[in-house]
Structure 1
Amino acid sequence: MPEVRRAVCPGSYDPPTVGHLDVITRAAALFAEVYVAILVNPRKEGLFAVEERVEMLTGITADLPGVRVESFRGLVVDYCRERGAQAMVKGLRGATDYDYELPMAHMNRHLSGVETLFLPGAPDQVYVSSSLVKEVARGGGDVTAFLPPSVHARLRERLA
């Protein structure tokens, strides 16, 4: 019987954007099971609590078969090992992301044998980040195009 192919899409997802959803959707088309893994970082306070991010991501990925959303503490490679994942899938918006992610991919492979697959961001979304979305929204700008509707509603409510 062939081994089930599993991947992890790690991130902070504060808040999850349409770019995040694009990467998760594409990963779900490549792997039988995809774990969307939200890092719990006690040194970093997000706009949304980790539990809220789990709820938002669970809602926007509900129609994707094989996708599970969880939070985790510690090293992502340990999380991958615990889930039996063969790969991590990460979206890249450009060269800056690549320069940041490549050394981590090498280290993760060294530590665990887990491969990192990079998916280029959708051309119309490569400039979108959670940080930029929050900054624009705080300034009163329209970020509707960059967030799933349910996430946009929660962001508006949070910033009101």
Structure 2
Amino acid sequence: MASTAVYTGSFDPITLGHLNVIQRSSRLFDEFIVGIGVNPDKKSLFKADERVELIERVCADMPNVRVKSFTGLAVRFVRECGARTIVRGVRSLTDMEVEFTMTLANRKLDPDIETVFLMADDEFSHVSSSLIKQITPLASDEELARFVPRQIVPDLRKKLQK
């Protein structure tokens, strides 16, 4: 039986921490789907289709990784993908508290879907999309590439210059 898992998030923008979770998860599951959640009430830096393209670009060397955007409940999206596993990356105890609450809610919504947590590698435990947005105007390309995939640095610069 083939295994499919889904990693949901906003990925606005994708960071090296996100990429680390994707790479590691792609080795654990036959099919791995990155689900880009779209919240119409939230102002995003990148549009959903732009985030799909950025993640597809940085994951091009992982043939079992697919990228899709979705609206609505994550558990519903996971079911639509034919999966029963949600992967979540955890950086800190604060993340764990938030993820614990979300997991309990998801289990109430769909008890057949399991959540698997992957601890971020320690070199990425401080990296967040919010941090990236703050440091991009101040950091050099070389410095920025310590936090985000090098391939997206120009996209990030262009978006934040507007």
Q: TM-score range by the shorter chain?
A: over 0.9
The correspondence for 2:50, drawn from 49, 52, 63, is 52
CA distance in 2, matches of 1:86, 1:59: 26
Instruction: State the Cα distance separating 1:66 from its structure 2 match.
Output: 1.2
Instruction: Letter of the 2:49 partner, please give it.
Output: E
- C-alpha RMSD of the superposition: 1.0
CA distance in 1, matches of 2:39, 2:49: 13
The correspondence for 2:81, drawn from 67, 80, 83, is 83
CA distance in 2, matches of 1:107, 1:157: 38
Instruction: State the Cα distance separating 1:159 from its structure 2 match.
Output: 2.0
Residues 2-29 of structure 1 deviation map (CA, whole Å, 9 limit, x = unaligned): x221100000000001110000111111
CA distance in 2, matches of 1:25, 1:72: 21
CA distance in 2, matches of 1:79, 1:36: 11
Q: What is the match of residue 26 of structure 1?
A: 24
Q: What is the match of residue 146 of structure 1?
A: 147
CA distance in 1, matches of 2:50, 2:58: 12
Q: What is the match of residue 134 of structure 2?
A: 135
Q: What is the match of residue 74 of structure 1?
A: 72
Instruction: Letter of the 2:152 partner, please give it.
Output: V
Query: Structure 2: 5+ residue runs without aligned partners?
Result: none
CA distance in 2, matches of 1:33, 1:71: 16
| 1:157 equivalenced with 2:155 (yes/no) | no
Q: What is the match of residue 119 of structure 2?
A: 120
The correspondence for 2:9, drawn from 11, 34, 55, is 11
Runs (4 or more) in structure 1 with deviation over 6 Å come to: none
Instruction: Letter of the 2:64 partner, please give it.
Output: G
CA distance in 1, matches of 2:108, 2:40: 26
Q: What is the match of residue 105 of structure 1?
A: 103
CA distance in 2, matches of 1:63, 1:39: 23
Residues 13-72 of structure 1 deviation map (CA, whole Å, 9 limit, x = unaligned): 000011100001111111001110001110001111111100000111111121100000
Q: What is the match of residue 42 of structure 1?
A: 40
TM-score, normalised via structure 1 length: 0.94
Residues 113-155 of structure 1 deviation map (CA, whole Å, 9 limit, x = unaligned): 21111100011110000011111113x1242211111111211
- Other structure's SS at 1:46 match: coil
Paired residues, what number? 157
CA distance in 2, matches of 1:159, 1:45: 14
Residues 52-105 of structure 1 deviation map (CA, whole Å, 9 limit, x = unaligned): 100000111111121100000100100111111121111100100000000111
Instruction: Letter of the 1:6 partner, please give it.
Output: T
Instruction: State the Cα distance separating 1:156 from its structure 2 match.
Output: 1.3
